[in-house]
């Protein structure tokens, strides 16, 4: 039986639509659904409990997504293990498609659905930004930015040792090679983008900060692994470890998009301005090693 773990921090406005979609069309006891209400000060737990016995509710006073995922794991009963953000919409059929992808032949250990970004109500600059973002190779092929990641038992074991990181979905995606992860084209998740430029920048500042934290962890792990693998007398002569996997966007990526579609040039300018604003906004947090402040976009949670 697939287990679905949903960490939810003050998501009374969004959780109901996710649970409705999961339960609509699902057979009795087809899914094991665990909602972990972490540090909630609203009616999130009541919304979850209102969906009946097919949804199990776990509460913790600690407002931490990492702790919520860990706690959800202790209550989840089966595999594949599917982690779903409370502010997206995923249906029962989509869960079945993800489960089938992990059960099929091959080396796939982790899977995620195609993302749908409804742009109704978004400002023109937000629409321009996502017109570029969705076309980036790393964004198309990575498992991050979807609010959903499904893991086989072996895939779960791969990421179980990851430390608490803001960019948990990016870290999970990069933990698997291209042959080990799959974006399942027959599954779809609705991810509501921010509606305003200000909220978009808040999201991008968070992304820039969390990416810096992940890269710091990768570099430290690579150094430790390098020292562990090299004999003391060989450490100075040993080659430096290979660069860790990354999903950063380079200038070459943007140039390739414009060459393929010159009409994207104005949108690329908007994309770059958002990237620069996010880099400036994240500078202070990165310098202070503040990887706990979660800048949340509220505009996508309206309506």
The domain ranges of the chain are 3-117+143-189
Q: Cβ atoms within 10 A of the Cβ of 289, count?
A: 11
Structure confidence at residue 283 as a pLDDT band (50, 70, 90): confident
Structure confidence at residue 23 as a pLDDT band (50, 70, 90): very high
pLDDT of residue 54: 94
pLDDT of residue 165: 75
pLDDT digits (tens, 9 = 90+) for 102-153: 997 778 999 999 999 999 999 999 999 999 999 999 999 999 999 999 999 9
Query: What number is the average pLDDT over the span 86-94?
Result: 97
pLDDT of residue 243: 64
Rounded to whole angstroms, how far apart are CA atoms 115 and 21? Answer: 15
Structure confidence at residue 268 as a pLDDT band (50, 70, 90): very high
| 3-state per-residue secondary structure call for the chain | CCEEEEEECCCCCCHHHHHHHHHCCCCCCCCEEEEEEECCCCCHHHHHHCCCCCEEEEEECCCCHHHHHHHHHHHCCCCCEEEECCCEEECHHHHHHHHHHHHCCCCCCEEEEEEECCCCCCCHHHHHHHHHHCCCHHHHHCCCCCCEEEECHHHHHHHCCCCCCCCHHHHHHHCCCCCCEEEEEEEEEEECCCCCHHHHHHHHHHHHHHHHHHHHHHHHHHHHHHHHHCCHHHCCCCCCCCCCCCCCCCHHHHHHHHHHCHHHHHHHHHHHHHHHHHHHHHHHHHHCCCCCCCCCCCHHHCC
Rounded to whole angstroms, how far apart are CA atoms 244 and 131? Answer: 28
Percent of residues, the chain, with pLDDT higher than 70: 88
pLDDT of residue 162: 82
State in words which class domain 3-117+143-189 has. alpha beta
pLDDT digits (tens, 9 = 90+) for 184-195: 999 999 999 999
Percent of residues, the chain, with pLDDT higher than 90: 67
Residue 288 has pLDDT above 70, yes or no: yes
Pairing of strands 3-8, 81-84: parallel
Structure confidence at residue 240 as a pLDDT band (50, 70, 90): low
pLDDT: which is higher, 147 or 214: 147
Structure confidence at residue 227 as a pLDDT band (50, 70, 90): low
């Amino acid at each position: 039986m697939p287990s679905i773990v949903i960490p939810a921090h003050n998501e009374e406005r969004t959780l109901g639509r996710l649970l409705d979609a999961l339960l609509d069309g699902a057979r009795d006891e087809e899914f094991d659904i665990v909602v972990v209400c972490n540090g909630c000060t609203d009616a999130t737990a009541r919304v979850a409990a209102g969906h009946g016995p097919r949804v199990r509710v776990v509460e913790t006073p600690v407002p931490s997504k990492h702790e919520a995922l860990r706690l959800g794991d202790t209550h989840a009963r089966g595999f594949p293990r599917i982690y779903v953000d409370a502010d997206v919409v995923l249906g029962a059929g989509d869960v079945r498609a993800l489960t089938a992808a992990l059960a099929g032949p091959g080396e796939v250990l982790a899977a995620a659905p195609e993302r749908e970004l409804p742009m109704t109500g978004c400002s023109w600059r937000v629409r321009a930004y996502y017109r570029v973002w969705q076309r980036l190779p790393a964004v198309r092929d990575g498992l991050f930015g979807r609010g959903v990641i499904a893991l086989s038992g072996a895939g779960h074991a791969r990421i179980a040792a990851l430390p608490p990181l803001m960019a948990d979905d990016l870290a999970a995606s990069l933990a698997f090679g291209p042959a080990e992860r799959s974006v399942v084209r027959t599954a779809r998740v609705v991810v509501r983008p921010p509606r305003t430029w200000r909220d978009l920048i808040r999201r991008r500042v968070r992304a820039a900060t969390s990416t810096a934290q992940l890269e710091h962890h990768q570099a430290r792990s690579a150094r430790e692994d390098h020292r562990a693998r090299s004999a003391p007398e060989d450490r100075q002569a040993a080659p430096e470890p290979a660069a860790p996997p990354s999903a950063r966007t380079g200038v070459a990526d943007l140039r390739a998009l414009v060459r393929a579609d010159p009409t994207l040039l104005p949108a690329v300018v908007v994309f770059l301005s958002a990237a620069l604003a996010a880099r400036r906004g994240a500078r202070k947090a990165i310098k202070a090693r503040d990887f706990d402040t979660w800048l949340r976009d509220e505009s996508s949670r309206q309506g």
